[in-house]
């Protein structure tokens, strides 16, 4: 039998995993042979990846044996705390366990509300078969805040029975964090119980000129109430455009208790018959769709907004948060790092943090660009950079908007260049921003939507009627 015949035969699973396949080296054996012939047939030393994989396998198939794994509450295996507790053995990290527990719950349940049960302080209240009501330290509803991809969501329907997490299928959730108790404003604020932060699955882009296509199909079934669910995701992308489609469907009949707890009979006149162990009004049906298209320019948008910080070596970098922990593999304040250090940081394990120069080159004046001065000492250097682009490129002052919550930076920029439009950002009373708006000849005041109550809106209309607007 020649080489091609062997390969053709091994493409069939029954041969690959059967007696025929056992006559040939596995991919692992070939790799070991190439690296070190003496290592062929010897057991490889345990690795962190193998340990994590084993824990996931056990969590799914043998959850009663999870106590055999030692877990250390440490960020990495290089810390002194880990080495002291581990004592020379390879142990799981707490965040690895949390990730696996989340994956297990995503597989085992179609209820996103139950995903927080494994977090400290997190719990959920069964609300029929479909949507659990999330709780943090016994508090729920509007006493906690739920943020999905940074957006605040509230329960719908008159009695708040449709919890916000019911809008996201578990398989479409990438990360969950639960912050118990009072939280800082930048973490959600405006609550007494805590914050649940959800990050959904983000687009995946091709790494070269070859487009990629992938998808996922999943189904679940529960015998008690004939609960059925299905989800399908389809993804296509090249280097700068990603298109994804996700749909999920869930349907179930009334579920049954462990025994008879009431008399059988009509649930209500003309509403059907219920058995003594049948729980009425527990049937449910839900369907979610999500379509996302990345690449704003090709979609024909009017403009985009970016945030800029000045790093320690003086360059302007484009990043949303002042700290790096949330989105990158690094920590600390972005303003305290030089550009060389920032170049080595990975965003979402794949992307690099760009400079403002690189963003300006990419957009090339094709759409409007709103630059938010996020950090300190950004006004003058931003103006200097823009002046260079105004002189030799397609960029012009009318294609730029400078905005900021830091009004001092806006004043500095306006004094240096009054030709570029200014927008005032505020989280407080928007009426307080009118004076600075007039001073800087601002084209807009962008307030927090929660500050636009009826009284403020009426005052704004009155100012406009007296032509005192700016």
Q: Residues 388-408: what's their mean pLDDT? A: 91
Q: Which of 4-13, 297-306, 355-364 has the highest mean pLDDT?
A: 355-364
Residue 370: both structure tokens together: 């709103």
Q: How far apart are CA 186 and CA 189, in angstroms?
A: 7
Mean pLDDT of 301-310: 86
Average of pLDDT values for 145-171? 68
Look at residue 123 and tell me whether its pLDDT is greater than 70. Answer: yes
Res 410: pLDDT: 94
Instruction: Note whether 279 and 257 are within 8 A (CB).
Output: yes
Assigned token pair, 465: 């009627």
- Superfamily assignment of 303-420 in CATH? Phosphatidylinositol (PI) phosphodiesterase (3.20.20.190)
> Which of 65-69, 118-122, 160-164 is predicted least confidently?
160-164
> Mean pLDDT lowest for which of 86-100, 242-256, 258-272, 284-298?
284-298
Topology, domain 109-200: Ferric Hydroxamate Uptake Protein; Chain A, domain 1 (2.170.130)
Q: Which residue has the higher pLDDT, 374 or 347?
A: 374
Helix pair 48-61, 94-108: axis angle to 10 deg: 40
Half-sphere exposure of 402 (CA within 13 A, CB side): 31
Residue 204 — pLDDT band, cuts 50, 70, 90? Answer: confident
Distance from C-alpha of 138 to C-alpha of 134, rounded to nearest angstrom? 9
Q: What is the mean pLDDT of the chain?
A: 77
Tokens representing 286 are 């839900």
| CA distance readout (Å), 164 to 40, 113, 141, 145, 228 | 54, 9, 10, 10, 21
pLDDT at residue 291, rounded to an integer = 44
Are 318 and 359 within 8 A, CB to CB? yes
pLDDT at 200 exceeding the cut of 70? yes
0.85 exceeded by pTM: no
The per-residue pLDDT for range 324-355, each reduced to its tens digit, is 888 788 888 999 998 888 888 887 666 788 88
Please give the pLDDT value at position 335: 92
State the pLDDT confidence band at 310, using cuts at 50, 70 and 90.
very high
Apex 75 CA angle, 74 and 81, nearest 5: 35
If you average pLDDT over residues 424-430, what whole number do you get? 87
CA 438, 439, 444, 447 dihedral sign is negative
**Arithmetic mean of pLDDT, 414-439:** 89
Q: Which of 290-294, 353-357, 372-376 has the lowest mean pLDDT?
A: 290-294
Whether 165 has a pLDDT exceeding 80, the answer reads no
Domain ranges of the chain: 3-96, 109-200, 212-294, 303-420
**For the chain, what percent of residues have pLDDT higher than 70?**
74
Model confidence over 46-60: pLDDT tens digits? Answer: 788 888 888 888 888
Work out the average pLDDT over 378-384. Answer: 94
Is residue 44's pLDDT more than 70? no
Please, which pLDDT band fits residue 406 given cuts at 50, 70 and 90? Answer: very high
pLDDT at residue 468, as a whole number: 43
The bridge status of strand 151-153 relative to strand 173-180 is: unpaired
């Amino acid at each position: 039998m020649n080489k091609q015949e062997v390969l053709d035969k091994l493409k069939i699973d029954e041969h690959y995993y059967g007696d025929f396949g056992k006559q040939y080296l596995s991919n692992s054996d070939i790799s070991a042979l190439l690296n070190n012939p003496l290592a062929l047939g010897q057991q490889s030393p345990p690795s962190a990846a193998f340990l994590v994989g084993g824990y996931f396998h056990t969590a799914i198939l043998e959850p009663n044996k999870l106590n055999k794994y030692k877990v250390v509450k440490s960020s990495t295996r290089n810390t002194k705390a880990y080495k002291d507790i581990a004592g020379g053995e390879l142990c799981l990290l707490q965040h690895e366990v949390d990730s696996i527990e989340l994956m297990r719950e995503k597989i085992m349940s179609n209820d996103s509300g139950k995903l927080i049960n494994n977090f400290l302080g997190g719990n959920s209240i069964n609300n029929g078969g479909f949507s659990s009501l999330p709780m943090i330290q016994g508090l729920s509803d509007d006493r906690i805040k739920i943020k999905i991809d940074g957006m605040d969501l509230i329960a719908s329907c008159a009695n708040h029975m449709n919890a916000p997490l019911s809008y996201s299928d578990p398989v479409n959730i990438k990360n969950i964090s639960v912050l118990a108790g009072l939280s800082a404003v930048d973490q959600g604020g405006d609550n007494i119980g805590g914050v649940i932060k959800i990050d959904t699955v983000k687009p995946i882009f091709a790494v070269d000129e070859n487009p990629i296509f992938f998808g996922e199909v999943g189904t679940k079934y529960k015998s008690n109430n004939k609960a059925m669910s299905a989800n399908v995701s389809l993804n296509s992308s090249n280097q700068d455009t990603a298109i994804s489609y996700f749909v999920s469907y869930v349907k179930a009949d009334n579920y049954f208790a462990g025994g008879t707890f009431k008399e059988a009979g009509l649930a209500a006149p003309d509403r059907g018959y219920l058995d003594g162990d049948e729980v009425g009004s527990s049937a449910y049906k839900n369907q979610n769709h999500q379509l996302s298209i990345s690449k704003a320019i090709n979609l024909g948008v009017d403009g985009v907004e970016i945030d800029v910080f000045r790093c320690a070596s003086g360059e302007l970098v484009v990043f949303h948060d002042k700290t790096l922990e949330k989105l990158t593999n690094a920590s600390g304040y972005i303003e305290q790092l030089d550009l060389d250090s920032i170049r080595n940081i990975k965003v979402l394990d794949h992307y690099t943090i760009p400079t403002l120069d690189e963003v300006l080159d990419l957009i090339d004046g094709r759409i409007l660009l709103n630059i938010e001065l996020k950090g300190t000492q950004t006004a003058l250097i931003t103006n200097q950079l823009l002046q260079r682009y105004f002189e030799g490129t397609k960029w012009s002052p009318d294609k730029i908007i400078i905005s900021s919550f830091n009004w001092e930076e806006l004043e500095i920029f306006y004094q240096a260049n009054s030709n570029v439009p200014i927008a005032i950002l505020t989280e407080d009373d928007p009426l307080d921003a009118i004076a600075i708006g007039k001073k800087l000849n601002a084209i807009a005041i962008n307030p927090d939507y929660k500050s636009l109550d009826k009284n403020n809106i009426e005052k704004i209309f009155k100012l406009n009627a007296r032509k005192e607007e700016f």
